[in-house]
Structure 1
Amino acid sequence: MSAFQNVIVGIDLNEETAGRLLERACQLAEPAHIEVIHACDHLHHQHQDYVHCAFESSEELDAAVIREADQFLNSVCEPMGIQQRKVLDGRTATVLHDYATNHADLVVIGSHGRHGLEAFFGSTSNEVVHGTPCDVLAVHLPPDDAGEMEAGGRYMRVLAAVDLSVEASQVMDHARRVADACGAELKLCHVSKHLQESGRKDDWKRLLEFAAGYGLAATDIHELAGRTAHAIHNLAEELHADLVVVGTHGKHGANLITGSTANAVLHGANCDELSVRIRPAA
């Protein structure tokens, strides 16, 4: 059973990180429905800048760069049975935004879970989550200096975080589909904003009713308090969740920085995050 029908994986030219992203993609879709993209943002440099290379023109240099990248893609894709791959010109986020518009229902990228200003202004994963017109799986990667990357394995425990709005079912539907595809446990949480106990009790009742529609027991449900992202991070650690599922409206600019739960959860999480693109009600 596949959770997604058409998956795009954006990778760099690092064998370890590429392997982790492709492994995750193959858990959620058949290899025949996965396409691997490497965005090459250093094409069209003047060939004279490369003093140690014998390129007679910028076009010849571009062709060599693309050829080297394509050879790398072939080396990591072929063992997994993935046949579709492309090297495209442009910034990673822009390339994935544009290509995903007509080609994908999921984009898979890597994320180092940055904090602070680096999260807002230096993160490709942040740019991809906010603007890509489909779901985005941000695969948590260890810091560059963390040494050899451990094997990822299959998803074992999926945590869906919902806000009890009419859009919550979109998040939960996708979380259920992923959990079923991976044979994982599914847990549900909501962060209550009510200060009064009566309000929190009302939220708990609504959460129970919502969860019952997905066959979840009370032991699978968690009502939280406090700052949303912080509370979700703590619960994910406590449950040993390896995937958190949240909704996103694809906000930009100031709204992205101040108003996006998906962004806040992404930067600071120690596990993967699936950002579900919320669709307007028909």
Structure 2
Amino acid sequence: MKKIIVPIDFSEHSEYALRTATKLAKKYNAEILALHMLEMSDLMLTASDGLQYEKASFFIKLSEQKFEQFLKKDYLKDVHITPIIKHFKVFSEVDDVAKKHHADLIIMGSHGASGMKEFFVGSNTERVVRNAEIPVLVVKNKGIDINFETVVFACDFSEDCIKPYINASKIFEKMNTKVYFVYVNLPNEHFQSSIEIENKVVNFFTKADGNLDKMKDVHYVSDYTVEDGVLNFSLKIGADMIAVPTHGKKGLAHFFQGSIGEDIANHANLPVMTFKI
């Protein structure tokens, strides 16, 4: 882990993310890319009118000063930190920055969301999760333990999940993490028998690892939703983090079908790391 991106909006939640990134950066000797995105309109930035241009320049300079002050934290001493300012608040730009700088991880602070506000508005964190090609770690408090000794990896063991599983395995092996795999069986049209589930898991590990060594770490749970099953299992075993593959659905596909990965990231109290399918 060499480069970590932390989007900064000056909120307490972005500071939670920055604190977490600092701990990881010190542990792995990594660089933090602190990213701030201005909410500047295209009209203001491209206006030929003198007054509009002066306003844009003023707000840019003011934001740069505020960003500089925000990064003057005692806990950032001895950490390699690079500030980056983008002039548009476009969440796909976070992924663009990640690709340009070959970043390994994005860390987002989130307060979560629920009800109609979540359904129609969503959250900045959801938008980043939806667009990011690299793993995203979502944190909701400043005091998390970054050792991550016990992690729950939740998936349906479809072949789509092989790539996220391999990417997650590389990260967790370096962290010396114990990973529990969980499959949630639902009492509806998605219900599967024990034999059907086990055949799917055997196929998954055979194609992903070429062996069945991790079959002993797979747990099958029954619940009314995948989200509830994952959260309840994580609580039961005392997990430090939840890892989930996510499709990053956009547009109408996301509106009607949603994303289990995003829902878990939004509602879990534990840190959640998402991996793009």
TM-score (norm 1): 0.76
Q: 1:242–1:272: 8 Å Cα contact kept in structure 2? A: yes
Q: Match for residue 178 of structure 2?
A: 185
Q: Match for residue 107 of structure 2?
A: 108
- Matches of residues 42-57 of structure 1 in structure 2 within 5 Å? 57=54
Structure-1 separation of matches of 2:95 and 2:191: 43
Q: Point out the more displaced range, 33-42 or 76-85.
A: 76-85
TM-score (norm 2): 0.78
- Matches of residues 15-164 of structure 1 in structure 2 within 5 Å? 17-24=14-21, 26-27=23-24, 30-41=28-39, 57-58=54-55, 59-75=57-73, 78-91=76-89, 93-103=91-101, 104-120=103-119, 121-139=121-139, 141-142=140-141, 149-164=142-157
Deviations 1:213-268 (A, max 9, x none): 474352x3211233111111111111221221111222112322324221222222
Q: Match for residue 173 of structure 1?
A: 166
Q: Match for residue 198 of structure 2?
A: 204
CA gap 1:44/1:250 in 2 versus in 1, 3 angstroms? closer
Structure-1 separation of matches of 2:214 and 2:18: 30
Deviation at 1:270, TM superposition (A): 1.5
Structure-1 separation of matches of 2:59 and 2:21: 33
Amino acid in structure 1 at the alignment position of 2:247: H
Amino acid in structure 2 at the alignment position of 1:180: E
Identity between Structure 1 and Structure 2 (%): 21
In structure 1, list runs of 5 or more residues that go unmatched: 47-55, 143-148
* Partner SS state of residue 160, structure 1: strand
* Partner SS state of residue 63, structure 1: helix
Deviation at 1:127, TM superposition (A): 0.9
Deviation at 1:192, TM superposition (A): 3.1
Structure-1 separation of matches of 2:74 and 2:248: 31
Q: Point out the more displaced range, 113-122 or 15-24.
A: 15-24
Q: Match for residue 51 of structure 1?
A: none
CA gap 1:67/1:22 in 2 versus in 1, 3 angstroms? same
Structure-2 separation of matches of 1:85 and 1:76: 16
Deviation at 1:131, TM superposition (A): 1.7
Amino acid in structure 1 at the alignment position of 2:174: A
Q: 1:171–1:247: 8 Å Cα contact kept in structure 2? A: yes
Amino acid in structure 2 at the alignment position of 1:155: F
CA RMSD across the alignment: 3.3
Aligned length: 258
Q: Match for residue 270 of structure 2?
A: 271
Amino acid in structure 2 at the alignment position of 1:64: L
Q: 2:13–2:111: 8 Å Cα contact kept in structure 1? A: no
